[in-house]
Amino acid sequence: MTSILPNQTLYVRNLNEKVNKDELKRSLYSLFSAYGRILDIVALKTMKMRGQAFVVFKEIQSATSAMRGLNGFNFYDKPMSR
């Protein structure tokens, strides 16, 4: 069985699909930047990627802290999950 090693990219799902993409990215940046420097946020509104995002941190430790701190956090009336 292969385990996933910690890395700088955090996959977030169960995001509110009704939120405008630009607003979603700004809000994710505001929320996740409390854990460290963010290099990029990828949030697509295609059918396949709707309700999901990738948050790329500069440091692995920041991504790990954000994952632990925000898993289940109520964001736009839905609990985020990883």
Residue 3's pLDDT band, with cuts at 50, 70 and 90, is low
In this structure, which topology does domain 15-79 adopt according to CATH? Alpha-Beta Plaits (3.30.70)
Measured over the CA atoms of residue 29, residue 5, residue 46 and residue 72, the dihedral's sign is: negative
Supply the pTM of this predicted model: 0.88
Q: Which residue type, as a one-letter code, is found at position 57?
A: F
pLDDT of residue 5: 76
Residue 1's pLDDT band, with cuts at 50, 70 and 90, is very low
Mean local confidence (pLDDT), 17-21? 91
Contacts of 81 (CB under 8 A, 6+ apart): 12, 13, 14, 71, 72
Rounded Cα distance between 48 and 55, Å, is 18
**Domains of the chain by residue range:** 15-79
